[in-house]
């Protein structure tokens, strides 16, 4: 059996958790810049992932605190799905992504790091963007600075995501 280690995630998985980080972000608009919030509306918000798998990895998160999509209200479900779709378009156009990973990890058993609050992951991908440097050198290689990516996406998102 082969093992693949992800030591860069240790800080996140071992950090003390108090309450829901997504609800904390949702309830405090005054810290949107600090929390890297790209967009918010009456159903959801879009935020950059602080522990990205790829440069530009963002999340679409409903305001409703819920751990399953089956009970998420219909308007929120349809809205976050539409916003995720538009974010895919934004990442393809603004980042020249060759593809985009879009998905949800529903529950701890599915790999959700924050299982108590459902959310979409939207990750731009490029041909040849993966390698073993992360595994063998405990280092992630990103093509651009995190805050620079935030500023670029923040200035672009309004063209793709509009309040409905």
Residue 95 is part of a domain; what is its CATH number? 3.30.428.10
The reported pLDDT for the residue numbered 91 is 96
Q: Strands, E, within the chain: which ranges? A: 37-40, 44-48, 58-62, 99-103, 120-125
User: What whole-number distance in Å separates Cα of residue 119 and Cα of residue 142?
Assistant: 23
Please indicate, yes or no, if residue 2 is contained in any of the structural domains: no
The token duo for 150 is 């935030």
User: What whole-number distance in Å separates Cα of residue 102 and Cα of residue 111?
Assistant: 15
Please indicate, yes or no, if residue 164 is contained in any of the structural domains: no
- Residue 40, strand partner residues: 45
Phi-psi region of 128 (alpha: psi -120 to 50; beta: other; left: phi over 0): left
The reported pLDDT for the residue numbered 143 is 59
The reported pLDDT for the residue numbered 126 is 87
User: What whole-number distance in Å separates Cα of residue 83 and Cα of residue 72?
Assistant: 16
Q: Is 79 a catalytic residue?
A: no
Residue 111 has what DSSP assignment?
T
Options 57, 79, 117, 119, the catalytic residue: 119
The 10 Å Cβ neighbour count of residue 41 is: 14
Please indicate, yes or no, if residue 147 is contained in any of the structural domains: yes
The reported pLDDT for the residue numbered 136 is 52
Closest CA to 91 of 101, 81, 106: 101
Please indicate, yes or no, if residue 60 is contained in any of the structural domains: yes
pLDDT in 10s for each residue of the chain, 164 residues: 555 556 656 665 666 656 899 999 999 999 999 999 999 999 999 999 988 888 899 999 999 999 999 999 999 999 999 999 999 999 999 989 999 999 999 999 998 888 999 999 999 998 876 655 554 555 555 556 888 888 999 999 999 987 54
Q: How many domains does the chain have?
A: 1
Its domain, for residue 106, covers: 7-159
Please indicate, yes or no, if residue 1 is contained in any of the structural domains: no
């Amino acid at each position: 059996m082969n093992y693949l280690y992800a030591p860069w995630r240790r800080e996140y998985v071992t950090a003390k958790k108090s309450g829901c980080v997504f609800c904390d972000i949702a309830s405090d608009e005054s810290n949107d810049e600090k929390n890297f919030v790209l967009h918010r509306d009456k159903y959801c918000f879009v935020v950059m992932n602080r522990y990205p798998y790829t440069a530009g990895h963002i999340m679409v998160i409903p305001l409703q605190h819920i751990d399953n999509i089956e009970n998420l209200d219909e308007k929120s479900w349809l809205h976050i799905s539409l916003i995720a779709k538009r974010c895919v378009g934004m990442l393809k156009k603004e980042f020249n992504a060759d593809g985009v990973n879009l998905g949800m990890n529903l529950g701890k058993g599915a790999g959700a790091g924050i299982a108590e609050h459902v959310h979409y992951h939207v990750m731009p991908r490029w041909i040849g963007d993966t390698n073993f440097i992360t595994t063998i050198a405990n280092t992630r290689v990103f093509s651009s600075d995190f805050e620079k990516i935030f500023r670029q996406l923040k200035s672009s998102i309004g063209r793709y995501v509009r309040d409905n």
